[in-house]
Amino acid sequence: MTPSEGSLDVMKYLINTRHYNLMTTNNSGETVLHYAVKHIDVVKYLINECNCDIMATDKDGIPVLHYVASKGLLDVLKCMVMNINGHIMDQQYHNTIGRTVLHCAVKRIDVVKYLINECNCDIMVTDNYGNTILHDAASAGSLDVMKYLINTHHCNLMTTNNRGQTVIHLAVKHIDVVKYLINECNCDIMITDENGWTPLHLAARLGSAEVVEYFLSTGNCDPLAKSKLEATPLQLAKKRDEDSDTFITIFKKFGDIKISHPIDSYVNVLLVGNPGAGKSTLSHVINDTATGSFVLGSFRNVGGVVPCTAGIIPYKLQHRTLSNIILHDFAGHSEYYSSHSAVIENLLQGSGGVFLIVVNILEKEAVKQLHQWLTVVRNEAQKALNQCHIIVIVSHVDEISNSFERRRRKEEIQEIIVRESCLVPVSPFVVQEEGI
């Protein structure tokens, strides 16, 4: 008969008559107090009369006090707290990594409420890794405890641990917690830790497939966002031990990412043309039909052009038809041309790109403008490490009412395109303004 069976009389006999050593441990390093935790009468006897140490640890370093809290044995915990006069948060009752009894109770809402309300435990106390009980609750998937801490005690969701991680970083194995944090608490799903990892990075490497799928379904996560060490969520998913194929399939589903092509960056789409050609209209259409859009910067002063500035508005887009692109809308003013050349050369260093040349067919010098832009683009494309594609878009075609004149102008432009195609591949794409 053992302490786990609650035989208090036998225990007293062994201890008082046979002088049984209470610190004797089994193969798991457990003492009689570990075994007795489900029997309040035995625990009271061992603590109050035999002075058993409630911080005695098993071979895994887990103290009896912490084990009781983790199992939700509230009556036994109250007995232990009473024995130490309520000083349960004192340093001597932390384990070797600084975890308190409150950290260990994260799956037991009744124990958490008792420790906070009756024992005045500090909800912001941290372990050696900077984790609060809210961090641990997120990591453990304890939604009821999280809601209690947030709604009743107004815990700060932006509190970070030593790695700069917030609760949403640590919740990536638990879809219900993630949905609560995003939908009800408005957590920022692109927040980064000290390594530049977003919650999607963590989910791709360590989380669940359904969390990754949910993150991507919001349209607000960038699957190719780079950490400080240039790692993307997709790359981290490929490093998973057993289920990487499942995760890669999810990324392909939402990003239409081709594994056979470079996946470290979006495709650069460079939109060029003279002012009034229709570039802005085309840019708006592409933006409006994207599933996710991130304005990377806005450097163009439309009202008054400032010479020698970049004059570019880049958008990172997850597009239903065009997949993942970065659309660079280049200002058409001549003041920008010198800076554009350097910018384009830099953009095409890592990969090829797609040039969209927009020409207004109503312009008297449309052919001349097209020739100039094809020359500029050809020179830049030849510097690129990878092949570039050039598409000519002709706008305002529908505004020419005379069919003969419309055909003549289109043939002029087509002739330029055919001639230039001998030097660099060019694809014509005629767009009517109302159909853009």
User: Consecutive sets of 10 residues in the chain, 436 residues long: mean pLDDT of each?
Assistant: 61 77 77 85 88 85 91 93 85 91 96 95 95 98 98 95 98 97 93 96 96 87 88 92 90 58 60 84 77 43 38 63 73 64 70 83 85 84 77 87 87 81 53 42
- What's the pLDDT at 26? 78
Range(s) of the chain covered by CATH 3.40.50.300: 267-435
Alpha-carbon distance of 148 to 325, in angstroms, equals 42
- What's the pLDDT at 302? 34
Alpha-carbon distance of 341 to 276, in angstroms, equals 21
Residues 4-9: contacts with CB under 8 Å, at least 24 apart: 4/35, 4/36, 4/38, 4/39, 6/36, 6/38, 6/39, 6/41, 6/42, 8/39, 8/41, 8/42, 8/45
Cβ 2 vs Cβ 35: under 8 Å: yes
- What's the pLDDT at 419? 77
CA 181 to chain centre: 13
Looking at the chain, how many residues does it have?
436
- What's the pLDDT at 334? 62
- What's the pLDDT at 306? 38
Residue whose structure tokens are 């957590």: 187
Collapsed DSSP state (helix, strand, coil) of residue 207: coil
Task: Calculate the CA dihedral of residues 368, 373, 378, 383 and round it to 10 degrees.
Answer: 150
Q: How many helices (H) and strands (E) does the chain have?
A: 19, 7
Question: What kind and span of H or E run contains 425?
Answer: none
The second-level CATH assignment, the architecture, of 1-122 is: Alpha Horseshoe (1.25)
- What's the pLDDT at 362? 87
Alpha helices in 45-120 (DSSP H): 64-70, 74-83, 101-104, 109-117
CA 214 to chain centre: 11
Q: Is domain 267-435 given the CATH code 3.40.50.300 in the classification? A: yes
The bridge status of strand 312-319 relative to strand 426-430 is unpaired
Cβ 211 vs Cβ 203: under 8 Å: yes
- What's the pLDDT at 19? 73
Angle at 406 between CA 404 and CA 412, to 5 degrees: 100
